[in-house]
Amino acid sequence: MRESPAVPTSRLTAAIKEREASGQEGAALGVSAIIATMVYAIDDNGRVELAPGVRLQAMHEYRGQGEDGVVSIDPRVTIVLDDRAERFWPLVARVDLDAAKALRTDLQMLVEGRLAGERTSHARSRGTPGAEVPTPTPPQADRARQRAQELRAMEAATEARRAQASALAEEVARLKATVAEREAELARREAELARREAELEAREARQKGERPEAGSPERQ
């Protein structure tokens, strides 16, 4: 069963209030998001279908623990899609207060529109004349499109950063391999030079031993 938009709206409102009460509302700015799909099957159109039980959760900050046990804290309001069946968060968005409040406004408008639609539907079922189904106003539709574009842009930026990091890692590995090859070649040349110097010294020593000294019977 899908939950009403009013439920995540109340969770987001509580997270915003808790963040404001902390006195750190200006501590972090900006929006960042991570979209993860590793536990899901992706169709031919690149889409993932989430189960109806996925819930939108909101926290006043993000706390994470790395493999080294160090706990990191991001003071921005954190919004996650919680797939409890998979024990997975397919979306983690960390947003500043302005963005969190804008999203809350969008959710509130969605709730109000749905309630109005339910009231109209109920009135129609009772035969109330003049009942019309409300449609989203242009600003609402524009804001929804803008939010979708922002999420797509953040996903693209994240993928671009991952690609850049991967390319950089490959370049570093290539440079290291080149340096290792050149060091090995230099060591080989130094060994060859030392061998030749030793041969030259040995040849000079033999020639000196074979040459008669001045005043010796062989020189007379």
Same domain for 115 and 201? no
**Model confidence over 170-196: pLDDT tens digits?**
888 889 999 999 999 999 999 999 999
**Structural contact between residues 90 and 35, judged by C-beta atoms closer than 8 angstroms:** yes
For the chain, the domain total comes to 2
| Residue that finishes a domain, picked among 135, 170, 188 | 135
Please compute the mean of the pLDDT values over residues 77-89 and round it to a whole number.
Answer: 91
**126: domain range?**
6-135
Same domain for 105 and 181? no
Same domain for 89 and 14? yes
Same domain for 22 and 103? yes
Same domain for 125 and 177? no
Q: Residue 54 above 50 pLDDT?
A: yes
Same domain for 122 and 146? no
**pTM, two decimal places:** 0.49
Same domain for 131 and 153? no
CA distance 113 to 136: 7
Please compute the mean of the pLDDT values over residues 26-43 and round it to a whole number.
Answer: 82
Same domain for 128 and 180? no
CA distances from 216 to 205, 207, 211, 212 (A): 19, 17, 11, 7
220 belongs to a structural domain: no
> How many residues would you count in the chain?
220
119 belongs to a structural domain: yes
